[in-house]
Structure 1
Amino acid sequence: MPARTSLVQPVLAVADRFDAHPAEPSGTGVLLLAGSSGRVETGRAELLATHGARVRAMRWFGGEDQRPTPHEVPIELFIEQIGILRRDCDRVIVFGTSFGAEAALVTATLCSVDAVIAAAPTSVVWAGAHDGAWSSHWTLAGDPLPYVPFDHDWIPDGDPPVFRELYESSMQRSPEKAAAARIPVERIGGEVLLIVGKDDLVWPSGRFAQQIVAARRVAGLVTSLVSHPDAGHRLLLPGEEPATGGTRMARGGTPHADAELGERAWPEILRVLDPRSV
């Protein structure tokens, strides 16, 4: 297994971040996390900034002095950025998509945030690989967080592959490890907004979202869920164009349905960004 991340507080290089500043600040800061694409979400950051948010979009793997893949990425990397936003903002939100939603939810269980926006979320921590070695997506103080290992007997039966079947099979095959890897979302004191396309073919984000809602309901915590029956894994907010590239896989949905999900979610996103505007 590769050497684990140093316990030295991670530093985010200038090339791996993008800051969007609003013309009329609302007092809300947003840490914006993409998924497995590894990109810095500059366009989405600028969109949120037009509505008063001070946004830091960041690359969290594959950048300067960063882990090369989503494998043993230190959660401290995100906690540090939340602290930076706290210096200038009255409220801080983490907005993540897919693996970025996983990072957002995990981070919010470990440090104080005012809200989480999680698009195509997961309710558990997953495995990642580097140089053939499998471990958790995340570390804390250098130690990998509990994770769900993949079912290595799974073979895709289509092209492009529908990885949702792999995630479902892995959960069923390792129920005890899945229980240990559950993200304790009841520790998130702020609101959680979940955005889900029910035709997500990457992983069962609809089922994961229901599990998050149920866990937080028991704890008496506020959770909102926006969904669309025909949308897939990739959310399109107003004015955004469909993304290209990334790992070859079936993602589900259509550009039209993904955009409709974005239209449904947009008023809720604006409400979370600035509750005073409601």
Structure 2
Amino acid sequence: MREGFLAMPADGFADGGAGVLVLSGSSGRIEAERCRLLAREGLCALSVRWFGGAGQSPGICEIPLDAFGPAIEVLRTHGVRRIGVLGTSKGAEAALHLSVLLPGIDAVVAVSPTSLTWANVGPGSDGQNLPYRSSWTWRGEPLPFVPYDEGWAPDPAEEGGPVAVRSWYERSRRTFAGRVAAAAIQVDRAPADLVLVAGGDDAMWPSLPWAEELTARRRAAGLPVRLVAGPDAGHRPRFPGEGPAPESAHFRYGGSPAADAALGAAAWPYVLDVLRGDHRWRDDG
């Protein structure tokens, strides 16, 4: 993961501070602006391209979770005492897995998360989309995953315009119910502190019900978790200082600029607290 962007606080960064790895979703972009936003709050923030770059899989297909380790080490070279990962959508899926599998992760913020491992989004290194494979591997082995139901079709009313694919995930989960338990992300085994941010009007996938599942798993294990939800927000909450997300010609994300900004504003204090290690973020439920 050689392509990336590192932002440091303008007033400098003393040893013993906190660092955060920032992961995009299926856009594959490097989240430079979000890194700058976090750096203004005193955090060392790094975003890397984790697919679609030189020598990488062109899609989110069997991405080695081990490969995020070097990015974490870059943060450590800057003297951080606390390591966090902030991921959105598929990046949140990766972040949650890292909290379980990669030692030394202290905090995870999962924005618009899933509670399950899903099949690939786009082609693998072989250029093929099918057969379906896991989005992720760990130490060379693919993680158990839920495939997509090929019988699904978009709402005819959306023909020619952006499509909501939430129902595809919901249908696929029902179709492959026998694979759900094995594909569950085991946050009940994660030592990292966890903040979840999800909107009830997410049209990409049902992130709020999935965040509630993750919350239930954590609480059943006696582990702290904070869920910040916005019933009218969509798939792309926006933190203070971030403008509205750009429109897409292909997908509907749900929510509205106002609702997405309101959810991001409500979550922001908890995001900063958990990344810094201030335990005011902890679950009070």
TM-score by length of 1: 0.91
Written as runs of structure 1 = structure 2, the 5 A alignment for 1:70-219 is 70-87=60-77, 88-112=79-103, 113-128=105-120, 129-130=122-123, 131-133=128-130, 134-157=132-155, 158-159=157-158, 160-219=162-221
The amino acid across from 2:96 in the alignment is: L
Cα-to-partner distance string for 1:249-275 (whole Å, 9 max, x where unaligned): 111000111000111011111211223
The amino acid across from 1:35 in the alignment is: G
The amino acid across from 2:5 in the alignment is: F
Distance 2:59 2:245 in 1: 20
Distance 2:203 2:147 in 1: 19
CA contact (8 A) 1:79 1:107 kept: no
Distance 1:62 1:123 in 2: 24
Deviation at 1:245, TM superposition (A): 5.9
Distance 2:279 2:148 in 1: 44
The amino acid across from 2:149 in the alignment is: D
The amino acid across from 1:19 in the alignment is: L
Cα-to-partner distance string for 1:129-148 (whole Å, 9 max, x where unaligned): 41232211111122211110
Distance 2:250 2:18 in 1: 36
CA shift in 2, pair 1:261/1:39, >3 Å: same
CA contact (8 A) 2:194 2:274 kept: no
CA contact (8 A) 2:23 2:91 kept: yes
RMSD: 1.5
The answer on 1:56 being equivalent to 2:46 is: yes
CA shift in 2, pair 1:21/1:255, >3 Å: same
Distance 1:188 1:85 in 2: 20
Distance 1:163 1:183 in 2: 21
Task: Identify the residue that residue 21 of structure 2 maps to in structure 1.
Answer: 31
Identity of aligned residues (%): 45
Deviation at 1:166, TM superposition (A): 0.4
Deviation at 1:224, TM superposition (A): 0.2
Distance 1:132 1:220 in 2: 40
Deviation at 1:76, TM superposition (A): 1.0
CA contact (8 A) 1:126 1:137 kept: yes
The amino acid across from 2:274 in the alignment is: V
**Secondary structure, aligned partner of 1:170:** helix
Unaligned runs of 5+ in 2: 281-285
Unaligned runs of 5+ in 1: 1-11
Task: Identify the residue that residue 17 of structure 1 maps to in structure 2.
Answer: 4
Aligned residues: 265
Deviation at 1:179, TM superposition (A): 1.1
CA contact (8 A) 1:37 1:246 kept: no
**Secondary structure, aligned partner of 2:133:** strand
